[in-house]
Amino acid sequence: MHHDVTSGGTVAPASSARGVGFEHTYRRLYAHAADPEALVPGGTLVDLVRTELLQASVGTDQPLDNLIRMAAEWSSAAADAYRAVGRLTDAEGRRLLVRRAALGWAPLGLASGAWLQWLTAPGTADSTLSLRTLALYASDVGVGHPGSARGSAYLGLLRRLRASDNAVPLARLAGDRRIADMAFRLAALLLLMSRRPDDFRDELIGADLCLRAVGVPPPLALAGRELNADWAAIDYSAATDGGLPPIDRCRAIADTLVRSGPESAARVYTGFRWALATLKGQIDALREELRASLDPGFDMAELMRRRAREGSFYHRHVLLKDRPLSEWLKDCRDDPKPFLDVLARSDLVRPGRSGASPLVKGLVSERGPMFRIFSPDDLSVISRWIDALPGTTKPRDSDAPTRTPAPAARPSDPRPLVKLPGLLETGVPSGGGPRDLREAYHALMVRTGSPELNDWCLRYIRGWLARARHRMDSRSVPLPARWTTEGLRPWLLAQHDRHGAYFEESVNVPLPSREAVVDDAVQTAPLTLIDGSWLQGFTDYELASSDIGHSLFATYWDELGNGDTNLNHPLIYRQVLKEMAVQLPPTDSPEFARWPGFRYASFELPVYWLCIGRFPRTFLPEVLGLNLAMELSGVGGAYRRAGLALREYGFSTRFVDIHNTIDNVATGHSAWAADAVDSFMTSLPDRAGPGSRAETWERVRVGYRSLNPPTGFMARRAGRHGRLAGSRSRGPRAVVPGTEEHTGV
């Protein structure tokens, strides 16, 4: 539904109103930014978005209290205006209005809260502000429960309205031509900004606060609460987890940012004002579109505009007013009104009597030449248009056609943003990837990155996995050689028994020295202080509440203490290090990666975690295997043994104690990890070939072994070959560092 407006209020040709290159801009941005592995470059793209934010928020300088009140009052008034539109039609017309309104809000509704998805990064996983933001986001995705995100509730609403054809996955919505490109504007830019959290954190919080203040989407006021839907989840201001109202949580985060300094405060205000201004433009335009659609001619014109392209290839020999129908249809792509005027006078239509009209009675019947050309919804549009045509006599050719009402103008000039899709495709070269593991570790502390960093990560992962595959057999990987529908729970219990037996057998083995315990704790710090980072990709909105990803997000959420600094694993570990008189720089600082107390090899596995965590879809089987190996690794045995050593020298055992409990094989992370693998494997075809259970299970087993791959010369050489093969497949840009020391593989 692309509606083009001139100052006179008539429908203008598409090309003249949009300007070259504008069509589909926002839906293209939306589809790109919905990808959990999306790469969004900095530079010019960030500058263009920031300019958009500043321009759209000019002249509304108010403190947060006033802005929140302003947004709430506008939302209430806008809802009343939508109800007024609903009173202008009958029950069937209102049903169609509700459907169209729900689709118009769908780009935002299906992604409610998604713009917070990357506001926690490995380097800030122990930050109080990041943890509070993650807690807010966790409530939006229904942490630990599949299909419980706010977007899932909106999907349920669309399904009840039979309007969910293109709603899953999220990127698919961009292909729904029933939704205007401008309806994607706010959602697309929010998702795009979410992929650049270091550039737009404060603006995202401001925009989020605005949407919380708006609450229930104003267009849905048409539906009324009598429509069966999860309104508490659709209402962005309402709590879904029994906790504090999310608007209060978001307001507390915004207040913290505002107090942190004038620059941060200005960016929070900018985000709020921009979101409100853009939302007003979109909502007003949608309301005018709905009002215009009360004239059945509006929907008919839109149907012709959408279907004209494919129809214009046919009907060259069918004449309508001495002109081929195919030529009329070509014109419909720009302006369908002349064709509809001629069609209304033709023998195909009986004005006011759709049931007697050959267009919907004979041509589209089972024996007609246009059988199944139009969907049931399309036929409803055609019938309503015919029934609304005046009288039973056809007007003369000289009579002026009825003008189809046009929607309101666009909220603001979008032309500068036309460049954004092109910038996403070209990227911004940064001059090369990391030179060594220490530099890579620091670069990967944030979610963003350059194309070169992405290439470096992919090559590192492929090299690491090639090492893990080297001479892999049933003795080197405890996982079963084949996965069966019995699942992994029985195997999990057997492994736990083995761990328990190991601990009992090691009771009389001398404990390591104090120096060895401290050294091990120090060398493990680059790994432990990014606990859960192999799962960072599962904070992505669609993955966080999926059937497979919900438990992985819940595991990540647990590793970071469920938003509570007292339970945050990196902070607990730092307390142990402090007892050992070891003071480390902040994890995300360059000084941490360069700290001389770390051996170079101590960055090998952490960098692998950080790399593979960026590709939750590409390496899903390997991540599932790695996660299972990691969560099971210490339960019942190694953690208890480590606890003995720590206690022996007077150090706190809280870190190992808490892992031994939350990773348990009955209801803890190990169990979740096994269940995630089983859910994934069950969904695969049980046959030979690519994508089969057998092939995918091998990838899971490789991922399991990748936690502790072989270190011998031949294994390292296999890793180098794997890395070089990836480099060759990606072309000359993938330059491989010259020595094994530089790569760590």
**pLDDT one-digit tens code per residue, 566-584:** 999 999 999 999 999 999 9
Residue 703, CB-side half-sphere exposure with 13 Å CA sphere: 26
Contacts of 703 (CB under 8 A, 6+ apart): 465, 468, 619, 621, 622, 623, 624, 625, 626, 627, 629
**pLDDT confidence of 368, banded at 50, 70, 90?**
low
pLDDT at 730 over 70: no
| CB count in 10 Å sphere of residue 568 | 22
- Report pLDDT for 659: 92
Q: What is the pLDDT of residues 377-427, one digit of tens each?
A: 888 889 989 999 986 444 433 333 333 343 333 444 556 788 899 888 776
For residues 597-626, give the mean pLDDT.
98
**Per-residue confidence (pLDDT) for residue 73, from 0 to 100:** 98
| pLDDT score at 20 | 37
Q: What pairs with residue 324 in β-bridges? A: 319
Residue 678: how many CB atoms within 10 A of its CB?
18
Distance CA 466, CA 469 (A): 5
Mean pLDDT of 510-517: 96
Q: What is the mean pLDDT of the chain?
A: 88
**Of 348-352, 499-503, 702-706, where does mean pLDDT reach its minimum?**
499-503
483-506 confidence digits (pLDDT tens): 999 999 999 999 999 988 888 888
Beta-carbon contacts of 316 under 8 Å, excluding residues fewer than 6 positions away, are: 324, 325, 326
Distance separating alpha carbons of residues 296 and 291, to the nearest angstrom: 11
Using alpha carbons only, what angle is made at residue 334 by residues 288 and 383, rounded to the nearest 5 degrees?
Answer: 65
**Percent share of the chain, pLDDT over 70:** 89
Res 405: pLDDT: 40
Question: So what's the pLDDT on residue 427?
Answer: 60
Rounded to whole angstroms, the Cα distance separating 649 from 514 reads 6
- Find the Cα–Cα–Cα–Cα dihedral 318, 322, 325, 327, rounded to 10°: 130
Q: Exposed/middle/buried for 380, CB within 10 Å: 0-12, 13-18, 19+?
A: middle
CA angle 202, 448, 655 (to 5 degrees): 85
The CATH class of the 47-112+149-294 domain is: mainly alpha
Instruction: Give the Cα separation of 615 and 620 in Å (integer).
Output: 8
47-112+149-294 and 487-710, same CATH topology: yes
The whole-number pLDDT of residue 708 equals 97
Q: What is the structure's pLDDT at 351?
A: 94
The residue written with tokens 């001619």 in the block is 297
Phi, psi torsion values for 5, nearest 5 degrees: -125, 135
The label of the residue with tokens 């150090």 reads: 651
Q: Which of 48-62, 181-195, 368-382 has the highest mean pLDDT?
A: 181-195
Q: Is the pLDDT of residue 721 over 70?
A: yes
Residue 324 three-state SS: strand
| Class level of CATH domain 487-710 | mainly alpha
Domain spans in the chain, listed from the N-terminal domain onward: 47-112+149-294, 315-333+343-404, 487-710
